[in-house]
Every structure is written in C-alpha cells, then in structure tokens.
Amino acid sequence: MYAISLGDDVELRPLEQWHAEEFLAHLERGREFINQYVPFGSKALDAAGAREVLQRYADMRAADTGSLHGLWLEGKLVGGVLFLNFDAEQGACEVGCWLEPAGTGRGLVTRAMRVLIDFAIEQRGIHRVEWVAAAGNTPSLNVARRLGMTRDGIRREAQLYRGVRHDLEVWSVLAPEWREARARAAHKDH
C-alpha cells in the first residue's frame, strides 16, 4: 500500500482492518478530545469494535463510496482524514478529519487534506468537495479556511449530539477554484 510523506516525519497511509489494535489505542488516547463534536470511533470500544469500524470503511472503499486514511507522526497513529461520502457519478464528495491531542497544532490535517482533495479532483474528476463541521468546532472550521473553501451556509440545529442541538457549517471548494488556488500557490513557490 501507499505511504505519502507529508514532511516533518508525518505519513499519510490507508487505515486498514489489520490496524485495529493501533486504531483502538489511538482512540483511547484521544477519545474525549476527538468526540467533542463528532462520535467518530464511538463504536470502537474494543478490538472487535475497532475492526468493525475499519471494515465498514474498507467496504466503502470497495464500493467507491468513502475511505479512511491514517496520519502517522513519528511512526505513531495520531489521527486521520476521510471521504465520508464519495459520489464519482455526481462529482461530489464530503471530507472530514479527526486528531488526538498529540497531533494538533502541526498542520497535519491541512497537509493531508490537500492530498485527498488533489486526488479527488485531479484523479477522480470530483467537481465539489464539501466540509461539514459543528459551528463551535473552531479547529475544524479553520482547516476549511486554510484549504480555501467557501462557507456555503449553516444548517441550523441540524445535529443532535450529546443532548445538544448543534448548528452545522457547510463549506466547499469547486474544482476550478481548487486548481486556481493550487496554481497560485505553486507560482509563489517559484
């Protein structure tokens, strides 16, 4: 399988069923932090649950409807990025992320998400990439901003989580916008 270097001893790799023990240990280290706004991995409470979550994403990858990718910092799984929904026929997908505290503040998600978005747009022909986050999840919203996404709007009280209704912000980037921003960034690098 692939391992994409993101610099600073960080790798983006597929997160597979055989990573269940490592995935579970990662979730245990960061469960409270990760689950502030999303119940990601909430069913992975033991090795069997971790395998089940990873299998679900393996099935989605096989069906071409989603996928899961881990972020390893200095050889340790600290988070990841994913396609929650992937619809090549419609040219649209939704991306997301999660991190344990040890992975925050390093730009890992932003770097990894650039790889995912480049893949979706350039290799798979995706036209619209969407990011949805709770309005209070400032770190997640900041990633959308750093990626050059546009805030499309707010789905008011759309998510019931831990007994509280949360507004969800919807952000997106379209393929022409992404290509233009990448070209500007490449030009600045020269």
DSSP notation for 74-106: TTEEEEEEEEEEEETTTTEEEEEEEE-GGGTTS
Structure tokens at 84: 């929650």
For residue 5, the Cα-to-chain-centroid distance in whole angstroms is 17
Tell me what pLDDT residue 186 has: 80
Q: Which pLDDT tens digit goes with each residue over 118-168? A: 999 999 999 999 999 999 999 999 999 999 999 999 999 999 998 999 999
14 neighbors 115 (Cβ within 8 angstroms): no
List the CATH number of the domain containing 171.
3.40.630.30
Q: In whole angstroms, give the CA distance from residue 91 to residue 142.
A: 25
Tell me what pLDDT residue 62 has: 96
Q: In whole angstroms, give the CA distance from residue 76 to residue 97.
A: 17
The one-character DSSP state at 122 is: I
Tell me what pLDDT residue 184 has: 85
Which residues of the chain are under the pLDDT cut of 50?
Answer: none
What SS3 state is found at 133?
A: strand
Tell me what pLDDT residue 43 has: 86
Q: What's the total number of domains in the chain?
A: 1
Structure tokens at 31: 């469960």
Tell me what pLDDT residue 190 has: 60
Q: Which domain holds residue 36?
A: 4-189
Structure tokens at 134: 């709770």
The one-letter amino acid code at 8 reads D
The one-letter amino acid code at 82 reads L
